[in-house]
Structure 1
Amino acid sequence: MRFQRAEPLKLEGFAAARAFFASCFGESDPACEVLWVAHLDRAANCLHLASKVGDECASSLPVRTIIADALRRGSSGLLLAHNHPSGDPRPSLSDCLATRHLACAAQAIDCRLIDHLVFGGGECTSFRSLGLL
């Protein structure tokens, strides 16, 4: 499912990103993992928002699709968020590997992976604040 907002939404900083993505997860089934991707311009305005629903165990990180969307929209930055139905907000090893892979692909097209947030059990962790980006 893809969404497009009519008015600009500024997603600058961890607090703004956390609040925005928390509202996105409020509308989804907490028993399924969902990945949200926000494409941003240089001023941190959201150009495009997309989601991918997985199952209770995982949601894949579709690197090719994300990079193709970034190229098509002229994205300068990407913000990712996904939930862990288990309630554990810590990134898994597969989360870390896939995020690193996406960060390298984004860098190759002059786009920055700004952060990847993981929500679980009412908590949220940031790859950037954990030093993983």
Structure 2
Amino acid sequence: MRTARALFAGLCDATIEIMAVAYLDPNRRLLGMRHVAGGRDHVAISIRTVAADALGFDAVAVVIAHNHPSGDATPSARDVAFTRALAAGLRTLDVLLLDHLVIAEERVTSLRAMGVV
């Protein structure tokens, strides 16, 4: 979790929601990232975009994170639904969704730890 906090540290202070996607090689080394800016209470990225990037980087794993500027690190129903759909979509490409982190101030919630991924 410490590595993930460092990788996504910039999300803590943002005043709008930002989604960050990290693409990883078989040794869990970072191949590349994508950041997508949203609004005050939402951010959207398509499964297609994440999948295309994963294939482009030849990634075997992905970690996604986004912030909640409200200060509440509780995942929304939309966060949970997107995570499940993304994990299923990536599985068809033999890419593993390692985790989806929701970051709010100093708090981080792992959807993997919640059993969603």
Q: TM-score, normalization: structure 1?
A: 0.84
- Structure 2 residue runs of 5 or longer lacking an equivalent are none
Find the residue that maps to 2:102 and give its secondary structure.
strand
**Deviation of 1:15 (Å):** 1.9
Residue pair 1:61, 1:98 contacting (<8 A) in 2 also: no
- Choose which of 42, 49, 74 in structure 1 pairs with 2:58: 74
The corresponding residue for 2:76 is: 92
Residue pair 1:80, 1:115 contacting (<8 A) in 2 also: yes
Alpha-carbon distance in 2 for matches of 1:93, 1:60 = 14
1:31 aligns with 2:15: yes
The corresponding residue for 1:127 is: 111
Alpha-carbon distance in 2 for matches of 1:35, 1:121 = 15
Residue pair 1:77, 1:112 contacting (<8 A) in 2 also: yes
Number of equivalent positions: 117
Over aligned residue pairs, what C-alpha RMSD do you find? 1.2
**Deviation of 1:30 (Å):** 2.1
Residue pair 1:18, 1:117 contacting (<8 A) in 2 also: no
Alpha-carbon distance in 2 for matches of 1:61, 1:43 = 26
1:16 aligns with 2:12: no
- Structure 1 residue runs of 5 or longer lacking an equivalent are 1-13
Q: TM-score, normalization: structure 2?
A: 0.95
**Deviation of 1:69 (Å):** 0.7
Percent of aligned pairs with the same amino acid: 38
1:101 aligns with 2:85: yes
Alpha-carbon distance in 1 for matches of 2:70, 2:115 = 23
